């Protein structure tokens, strides 16, 4: 099979023709393409520094078409705890099954469907990318966030606010003071 095959763009859709491998078990076809970032908006992503780039192969394993690969991109994000900006590399593993649509599998959310001999890579890759997106972006795992009183970034050092006692423990503090 040809290496580095580019997905064909038709209109606004990227299509990958799988005719070569549909009837030949053990065969595969590679793909490499960039995803459009329009519609891939997330609150913590300020911008895509590089377009999400997908590379992989579609394999015919005993008559079952299986996609394997990854999507990689560089992002400028905002931390969900301290609101600081930071660079992030996002790698999304790709693993999917591609089948012909019929009555039995039409509602299966785990499957992707052939359109004739082709697969719509835009829809498939965008769906896999969105489903793998992090729900929280942190500048670092031990980010301390912002002080709830004064708003200081606690990663830069302590603030001048005293510790606030949980009002549920006020009675205990009174006992300790006596």
- Contact assessment for residue 40 and residue 46, using Cβ atoms and an 8 Å cutoff: no
pLDDT, position 10: 38
Give percent of the chain with pLDDT exceeding 70. Answer: 90
d(CA 10, CA 95): 24
How many C-beta neighbours within 10 Å does residue 82 have? 20
């905002």: which residue's tokens?
A: 78
Tally of helices (H runs) and strands (E runs) in the chain: 3, 9
N-to-C CA span, the chain: 83
Q: Which secondary structure element, helix H or strand E, spans residue 21, and what is its range? A: helix 19-22
Burial of 114 (0-12, 13-18, 19+ CB in 10 A): middle
| Domain residue ranges in the chain | 8-143, 147-178
Mean pLDDT within 83-106: 88
Provide the pLDDT for residue 95: 93
pLDDT given for residue 113 in this prediction: 84
pLDDT class of 178 with cuts at 50, 70, 90: low
């Amino acid at each position: 099979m040809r290496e580095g095959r580019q997905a064909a763009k038709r209109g606004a859709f990227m299509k990958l023709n799988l005719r070569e491998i549909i009837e030949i078990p053990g065969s595969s076809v590679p793909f490499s393409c960039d995803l459009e970032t329009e519609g891939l908006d997330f609150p913590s992503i300020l911008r895509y520094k590089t377009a999400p780039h997908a590379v992989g192969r579609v394999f015919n394993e005993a008559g079952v078409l299986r996609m394997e690969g990854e999507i990689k991109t560089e992002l400028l994000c905002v931390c969900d705890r301290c609101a600081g900006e930071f660079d992030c590399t996002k790698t999304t593993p790709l693993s999917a099954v591609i089948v012909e649509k019929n009555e039995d599998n039409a509602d299966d959310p785990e499957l992707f469907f052939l359109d004739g001999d082709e697969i719509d890579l835009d829809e498939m890759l965008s769906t896999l990318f969105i489903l793998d997106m992090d729900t929280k972006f942190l500048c670092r795992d031990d980010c301390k966030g912002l002080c709830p009183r004064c708003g200081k970034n606690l990663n830069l050092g302590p603030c001048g606010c005293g510790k606030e006692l949980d009002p549920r423990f006020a009675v205990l503090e009174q006992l300790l003071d006596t």
